[in-house]
Chains A and B, each alone.
Chain A
Amino acid sequence: MPSLKDELGKVLIELGKEYGDMVVISGDLGKSTGASAFEVFPERYFNLGISEQDMIGTAAGLASAGKIPIVSTYAIFLVGRAWEQIRNSVARDSLNVKMLATHGGVSAYADGGSHQCYEDIAIMRCIPGVTVMVPADVSELRQAARAAVEISGPFYIRLPRGEISRIFEENSEFQVGKARRISEGEDVGIIVSGFLLPEVIKAEALLKKEGIRATVLDMHTIKPPDAEAIVDVARQTGAMVTVEDHNIIGGLGSTVAEVLSSKSPAPVEMIGISDRFGESGELSQLMDLYRLGALDIANAAKRVIKLKDLRRGMSS
């Protein structure tokens, strides 16, 4: 599997060549995130040390004076520690600050609970004007980063640690705010963003073997949500599963539930972190423990289909 740090480095350099106003700010983790690759442009790379609030404030200043700052460090520290700076110094003025965070979710498995970030989507979603994206693979990472640099305003892009999948073709159709349909089916809709897309693809195959057809939606943009796509799937299937390596409070699942509850109510089973902190372990062990794997997803699909059938049975 491609290395996240290598791919991030490559895309930053590529964008840096095209956009002379782009600068990169790291927080002593440039080697770990891959941002330090940008040192090929030494006057445009700023390692501000272990100071996330200063990183965001400095980025706000650079943006207000016409630069395009990319700020990169670990998710929980970037948007956790500097949340208020993002909200007050960046977002209130819609400044052109692009936050690319690594170590999102369960991919920080060895580091344990302090580092596994399961709250970032929730706390970025509730800041007005911030575009929130969770790319699922290398091509989405490149396209999201490019979109962030090209589209005005604050962006938060959450990336995993270590490795990143290769699922979509390079330059395949991609638009910020437009979810991608990966498969078609009338029985259940599965909406996923980011790291767990491969598990959803496996789950879809497992379900198909049992004659259950799923529509799978890759929702790389959490905010603004693709409400139309979400409602379409809900109307088509009547039963939804959401999948994220994030707290089921406040992330993708909540987003989908918010859209559906007023537009097209449908039962939603949420696969994700059940409001708990992470812990150290192997990735596969944590995936089992937190019930994020293909089997868990397939079982959730069956549960929600049952619930749909029950409700339909009751109303007929």
Chain B
Amino acid sequence: MKETTTNELSANLESSRSELQSLTEVAQQIRRDIVGMIKRARSGHLGPSMSCVELLVSLYFDQMKCRPRDPTWRDRDRLVLSKGHAAPALYATLARAGFFDESVLLSFRQIGSMLQGHPVTRIPGVDVSTGSLGQGLSIANGIALAGRLDGKSYRVYVLMGDGECDEGQVWEAAMTAGHLGLSNVTAVIDRNGVQSDDATEKIKRKEPLDRKWRSFGWQVLEIDGHNFAQIRHSFDLAESTTDRPTVIIARTLKGKGLSFLEGDANSHNVTLSDKDLEWAMDELS
């Protein structure tokens, strides 16, 4: 039985399966929030935040057992945002899901704000402080092991970047999860094909990414990371697979939602001028 959110939109999500159209609307709102936050802060990772919006919306509005008004509920599903620089996307999703008031969003990166540049656990809904790449999967494994020891059935999701798979620790953790058959861990890779300096395949070839994970003992699913039906189906499949962990390689577009940024390597850490902002808000409305 999935817990529900409390804002107006959530009234439509009461039934056990959400309308995918509602999810699309939520995603659009979150994209507007992201642009607004990064513009106000004058810094932030726009491209990588935009590429994982559908994934985060699916997790918080359609998939994870969680209680926005009781963020430390012991039986909750957990998310580790291992690609911590997508913080704007996470924050907007948490706010829209009811973990904290959306008025806080514009304080992103301001001094004294709980909305730090990268996620910290003092934010309601954030279970793990991240920001340094490659560390989230190990942490997720640890949480999953604790769950096993306590006889709990909660799931642990990890959202990673594809560039992040350069880090050796990712593969240490992948080996551990494969070896221990941690089926309550579901990894999602935001495969937007671009890292900070350039395209991923120009920096350090990740392909064949699917075969790498499979060889480490994982079930590998490949989907369109902007397609809610595919995302939902892949999470269901992961949940029903009980002998091994699952990684969902989600093909996405960096800067998705803004036509002038989509797929652009320069969108990693860009901020928009006032004119760009108007254009962006127009596109997203």
Nearest opposing residue in chain B for A54, CB measure? B172
Chain A residues 30 to 80 lying within 8 A of chain B, measured CB to CB, are 43-44, 46, 48-49, 51, 53-54, 56-67, 69
Contact check, B149 vs A67: say whether CB atoms are below 8 A apart: yes
Does A85 count as interface, using CB distance less than 8 angstroms?
A: yes
Does B128 count as interface, using CB distance less than 8 angstroms?
A: yes
Nearest opposing residue in chain B for A85, CB measure? B135
Determine how close the nearest CB of chain A comes to the CB of B146; give it in whole angstroms: 3
Contact check, B168 vs A23: say whether CB atoms are below 8 A apart: no
Contact check, A51 vs B142: say whether CB atoms are below 8 A apart: no
Task: Tell me which residues across on chain B come within 8 A of A175, comparing CB atoms.
Answer: none
Task: Tell me which residues across on chain B come within 8 A of A264, comparing CB atoms.
Answer: none
Nearest opposing residue in chain A for B168, CB measure? A53
Is chain A's binding surface mostly helix, strand, loop or mixed? helix
In the complex the two chains form, what is the Cα distance from A89 to B130 in whole Å? Answer: 7
Nearest opposing residue in chain A for B134, CB measure? A53
Determine how close the nearest CB of chain A comes to the CB of B151; give it in whole angstroms: 11
Contact check, A60 vs B142: say whether CB atoms are below 8 A apart: yes
Does A88 count as interface, using CB distance less than 8 angstroms?
A: yes
Contact check, A59 vs B149: say whether CB atoms are below 8 A apart: no
Contact check, B143 vs A64: say whether CB atoms are below 8 A apart: yes
Does B59 count as interface, using CB distance less than 8 angstroms?
A: no
Total interface residues on A, using CB and 8 Å? 28
Chain B residues 124 to 183 lying within 8 A of chain A, measured CB to CB, are 127-129, 131-132, 134-147, 149-150, 168-169, 172-173, 175-176
- Assess A59 versus B176: contact at CB under 8 Å? Given A85-B135, A89-B135, A93-B129: no
Does A146 count as interface, using CB distance less than 8 angstroms?
A: no
- Assess A64 versus B127: contact at CB under 8 Å? Given A49-B175, A53-B138: yes
Nearest opposing residue in chain B for A50, CB measure? B172
A101-127 CB mask vs B (1 if < 8 Å, else 0) is: 000000000000000000000000000
Contact check, A62 vs B173: say whether CB atoms are below 8 A apart: no
- Assess A64 versus B128: contact at CB under 8 Å? Given A57-B138, A58-B139, A89-B135: yes
Determine how close the nearest CB of chain B comes to the CB of A85; give it in whole angstroms: 6
Nearest opposing residue in chain A for B180, CB measure? A46
Contact check, A57 vs B149: say whether CB atoms are below 8 A apart: no
Contact check, A65 vs B143: say whether CB atoms are below 8 A apart: yes
Task: Tell me which residues across on chain B come within 8 A of A57, comparing CB atoms.
Answer: 135-139, 141-142, 169, 173
- Assess A58 versus B128: contact at CB under 8 Å? Given A63-B142, A65-B142: no
Instruction: Identify the A interface with B (CB < 8 A).
Output: 23, 43-44, 46, 48-49, 51, 53-54, 56-67, 69, 84-85, 88-89, 92-93
* Shortest Cβ-Cβ A-B pairs, 9 listed: A61-B142, A57-B138, A65-B146, A54-B172, A51-B172, A61-B139, A58-B142, A62-B142, A61-B143
A-B contact list, 12 entries, CB within 8 Å = A49-B176, A51-B172, A57-B169, A58-B173, A61-B146, A62-B142, A66-B150, A67-B146, A67-B149, A85-B132, A89-B128, A92-B129
